[in-house]
Amino acid sequence: MTTGIPIRWFAPNEQSRSILPALAERGIRALDHDGEPAALAIAMGDTMAEPAWRWATRRQRPLVLYLWDLPPWSIGRGHFNRVLSIGGRLITLPRIGRRSDGRRAHYSRLRWIARRTREVWVPGRQSAAVVQRLFGVSCQEVGYGIDAAWFTPDLRSAREVGTVVCAAPLLPHGNLAALIRTAARSAPKLQLRLLGDGPERPGLELLAADLGVPCVFEPGDDRERRRQAFRTAGAVICPSRYEGFGAAALEALACGASVVVSETPSHREILGGAAHYFGLDDDVALATAIRAALASPSRGPAVPERYTKRGAQVPMATCAL
């Protein structure tokens, strides 16, 4: 940027804020709080779209919407609800004869905002295809990366060969039940560390107990915990049915872990040949991939430069001003 005026950065979590120092190194100030004028708002993710839109509307500033993950089943079926802008707030009108739940209303408002932003960014081709199909807007593929200065191998830490780590929200599309079933059939049984939380946790705890799988549930929002887990894991598994980007797999690779991922377009696009793959709904293939990962040596950091904070393309895209 050449204006010297900072960007207002709307970040929902630590990961979305971690790029700010790398932006500063390139002469771009991005602030995650109010306090001084800003030339542009960037909303990192769908949950930040509305607050960023309100901020940009009040100040008559352009808005960029970066959509990480838009699982198709979250959108629902049928037509989107009508959305009105009244007094700086968005109102969703339920369709006649149809109920409109909270998520449905959320995605209707998100679509309304996406059609009125300066640009919509996505991390890869899979996300671009979903956004274009569901929202009818064109997208710009903007690389975003993990903090490769933080997620690094530690040669002093020994791998716990019998321990499998999974860092993911405990949501239905996480496919974590398949991981627990596979761990139960392993000989000896694998020990699981699930880093994350969500509504699926009670059911997963019951399944692990019923199958006798040693399974520890831990918070997933602490990056020191994730780094330690990735450095010492026998393997890191990312079994989700849908992935917009795959940051956890990249973090694990940067820590030198052997990584197993589901066969999805985004995983193939982002990870290439750096991971072991298994087909969805194929527990046998998952078990085979885990065995291969456990038997393979640590691969060392194998993260392409464009997926690191230093190589991320966000700074160049801000020239859209």
Confirm whether 149 is domain-assigned.
no
Residues 6+ apart with CB under 8 A from 206: none
Regarding whether 240 and 109 lie in a shared domain, the answer is no
pLDDT exceeds cutoff 80 at 305: no
Confirm whether 1 is domain-assigned.
no
In this predicted structure, what is the pLDDT of residue 159? Answer: 83
Confirm whether 73 is domain-assigned.
yes
In this predicted structure, what is the pLDDT of residue 277? Answer: 95
Confirm whether 154 is domain-assigned.
no
Confirm whether 155 is domain-assigned.
no
Confirm whether 106 is domain-assigned.
yes
Confirm whether 126 is domain-assigned.
yes
Q: How many residues does the chain have?
A: 321
Mean pLDDT value across residues 51-62: 95
Note down the domain range covering 121: 7-144+310-320
Give the three-state DSSP class for 130. Answer: helix
Cα separation of the two ends of the chain? 8
Regarding whether 316 and 240 lie in a shared domain, the answer is no
Amino acid of residue 64: V
Check which CATH number belongs to the domain holding 224 and give it. Answer: 3.40.50.2000
Task: Report the range of poorest mean pLDDT among 51-55, 57-61, 65-69, 250-254.
Answer: 65-69
Regarding whether 207 and 95 lie in a shared domain, the answer is no
Regarding whether 11 and 139 lie in a shared domain, the answer is yes
CA distances from 59 to 28, 63, 319 (A): 20, 11, 20
pLDDT in tens, 92-148: 887 665 554 555 688 889 999 999 999 999 988 888 888 888 889 999 988 777 887
Regarding whether 130 and 89 lie in a shared domain, the answer is yes
Alpha helices in 69-191 (DSSP H): 72-75, 102-114, 125-135, 176-185
pLDDT averaged over the chain?
A: 84
Confirm whether 108 is domain-assigned.
yes
CA 135, distance to chain mean position in Å, is 20
Q: Number of structural domains, the chain? A: 2
Regarding whether 101 and 117 lie in a shared domain, the answer is yes
Regarding whether 137 and 265 lie in a shared domain, the answer is no
In this predicted structure, what is the pLDDT of residue 100? Answer: 47
Instruction: Identify the residue whose tokens are 């790029």.
Output: 19
Top-confidence range, 42-56, 104-118, 130-144, 176-190: 42-56
Mean pLDDT value across residues 301-306: 69
Which stretches does DSSP call E strand in 221-266? Answer: 233-238, 259-262
In this predicted structure, what is the pLDDT of residue 73? Answer: 61
Regarding whether 293 and 259 lie in a shared domain, the answer is yes
Regarding whether 109 and 220 lie in a shared domain, the answer is no
Q: How confident is the model at residue 74 (pLDDT cuts 50, 70, 90)?
A: low
Regarding whether 284 and 169 lie in a shared domain, the answer is yes
Q: Is residue 183 within 8 Å of residue 189, measured between CB atoms?
A: yes
Regarding whether 315 and 201 lie in a shared domain, the answer is no
Regarding whether 292 and 176 lie in a shared domain, the answer is yes
Q: How confident is the model at residue 216 (pLDDT cuts 50, 70, 90)?
A: very high
